Amino acid sequence: MSYTIHEVAEKMGISTYSIRYYHEHGMLPFVQRDANNNRVFEDSDLEWLNIIVCLRATGMSVERIKHYLDLAQDGDDTVPERYEMMKEQQARTLQEIQDLQQHLATINFKVDHYAQLMENHEPDSFLPSNLQQRTAVNQ
């Protein structure tokens, strides 16, 4: 089964621009061209793209991903380095999830606070303190 760039973009939830960008940067080395020079994607290319999307979404740079994919093409000698890269990415992602949960708590607090304000028609008593001091004219 083969796909156009738009079908792939749809399937993977990224833009055609990104896909071309990844291809131009050597991250999709097996993508073929048809008679009109259009890119032709196979299921195996989608597997590669899936890895790319996963690593990008978890904060690995395009350059590092390229390196990882190059390692994968260099055979089993590179398994230890790939292992280290994935361990690092695992740790980074765990940390990122924790950070986001912390930030989410902050946002939840804001949401609840504003909801209360709107329910009670009370003035905002939880503004950063300098707003109360320095822009008292607004109160």
Partner DNA sequence: ACAATTGCTTCGAGTAACTCGAAGGTCAAT
Partner DNA sequence: ATTGACCTTCGAGTTACTCGAAGCAATTGT
Q: Which residues bind DNA (CB under 7 A)?
A: 4-7, 14-18, 20-22, 35-39, 56, 61-63
| Sequential DSSP letters for the chain | -EE-HHHHHHHHTS-HHHHHHHHHTTS-TT-EE-TTS-EEEEHHHHHHHHHHHHHHHTT--HHHHHHHHHHHHT-GGGHHHHHHHHHHHHHHHHHHHHHHHHHHHHHHHHHHHHHHHHHHT-----S-HHHHHHTGGG-
Residue type, 81: E
8-67: which residues touch a copy of itself (CB under 8 A)? 30, 42-45, 47-48, 50-51, 54, 57-58
Closest distance to DNA from the beta carbon of 27 (Å): 9
- Residue (15 or 127) nearer to a copy of itself, CB: 127
> Residue 39 touches which of a copy of itself, DNA, none (CB < 5 to 8 A by kind)?
DNA
- Residue (62 or 117) nearer to a copy of itself, CB: 117
User: Apex CA 97: angle with CA 100 and CA 102, to 5°?
Assistant: 35
Residue type, 119: E
Closest distance to DNA from the beta carbon of 40 (Å): 8
What residue ranges bind a copy of itself (CB under 8 A)? 30, 42-45, 47-48, 50-51, 54, 57-58, 72-76, 79-80, 82-83, 86-87, 89-90, 93-94, 96-97, 99-101, 103-104, 106-108, 110-111, 114-115, 117-118, 123-124, 127-131, 133-135, 138-139
